[in-house]
Amino acid sequence: MPAPKTSIDDIMWLLIVASALSFWLASFIACVSRKSPSVYNGGPFEGKNVLLVVAHPDDESMFFSPTILYLTTRGYNLRLLCLSTGNADGKGDMRKHELLKACALLGVPTEQVKVLDHPNLQDGFGNNWDHSLLAKIVKEEIASCGINVVITFDSYGVSGHCNHRDVHYGVRKLTLESSHGDIKAWELVSTNILRKYIGPIDIWTSILYASSNPARSIQLLTNEDPRKSYAAMSLHASQWVWFRKLFIAFSSYSYMNTLRRIHPTDSSHEGPLPETNKEL
């Protein structure tokens, strides 16, 4: 009898969809109600003056919004250093203005946001950035602003963009050159593509990842108000196209950030500096 078979199939699908939605909702509630930070294998940030270093306007909203919202609502003095205007499409001036508006929404006042337009640090996939130059710029910013803690990308840079990766290696070079390890730097952990697009469900894999890496200092920061991530990214009007709207909705980076301490002498995880920049 075909009718009963169809009916059973419908019920099965209904149960699968209902289970998936329930799991998503339970994960969302677990994420937004979770007390941040969850600290694994180490302590929280060592100091209140924090510098977030990114490559382009919109990196802060697309990838770092849980970190920014955590810091700006917990009494930290957060500064943002954006190393380019994102002028790959000739919209650098517009994008700089958009960044200031997004930062204001996330709680970082305009006077604490610096956007560089250096001739050797221009946005683009083919543009490799000099790690020594990056280290020098970040070092000067740390000194002039009394920074205690630096946060940036990890060696993959979430999306794999070469500018993100170079920013990591610039900061890492600075920590390597810091003779007494006095620069406390943290990196945003890049996840695989499945974890990247399961939104709040990644809370469970993030907890598992953090608790199964006893050799690394890790903090898991969750986003109490993911709507702010969406609102902040929407202020980047020149970038607000359909696939970025989907990214913000489905990306786990809108809901949580896993930050891992950069240990200057730990080569087991980071690997060596890229060949092309060893001599820089």
Which residue number is nearest to Zn ion in terms of Cβ? Answer: 56
CA quadruple 89, 93, 97, 99: dihedral positive or negative? Answer: positive
Which range of residues in 24-32, 52-60, 100-108, 231-239 is near Zn ion by CB under 5 A?
Answer: 52-60
Angle (nearest 5°) at CA 107 between 135 and 227: 110
In the list 31, 56, 82, 206, the residue contacting Zn ion (rule: CB under 5 A) is 56
* Window 207-226: residues binding Zn ion (CB under 5 A): none
For the chain, the residue count is 280
Of 148, 161, 206, residue with least CA distance to 58:
161
Nearer Cβ to Zn ion (31/100):
100
Which residue stretches of the chain are H helix?
2-32, 59-62, 65-72, 92-106, 131-145, 162-177, 193-196, 202-211, 226-234, 242-250, 267-270
Which residues, in sequence order, are CB contacts of 69 under 8 Å at separation 6+? 106, 107, 223, 224, 225, 228, 229
Six-digit token string for 110: 């305009």
Nearer Cβ to Zn ion (36/234):
234
Nearer Cβ to Zn ion (12/246):
246
Q: Shortest distance, CB of residue 59 to Zn ion, whole angstroms? A: 4
Q: Shortest distance, CB of residue 151 to Zn ion, whole angstroms? A: 15
Nearer Cβ to Zn ion (70/153):
153
Q: Shortest distance, CB of residue 57 to Zn ion, whole angstroms? A: 8
In the list 27, 52, 59, 200, the residue contacting Zn ion (rule: CB under 5 A) is 59
Nearer Cβ to Zn ion (59/166):
59
Say how far apart CA 226 and CA 133 lie, in whole Å.
Answer: 35
The answer to whether the CB of 254 falls within 8 A of the CB of 191 is: no
Q: Shortest distance, CB of residue 157 to Zn ion, whole angstroms? A: 8
Which range of residues in 48-56, 72-80, 91-99, 228-236 is near Zn ion by CB under 5 A?
Answer: 48-56
The answer to whether the CB of 146 falls within 8 A of the CB of 50 is: no
Which range of residues in 19-27, 51-59, 74-82, 105-113 is near Zn ion by CB under 5 A?
Answer: 51-59
Residues that bind Zn ion (CB under 5 A): 55-56, 59
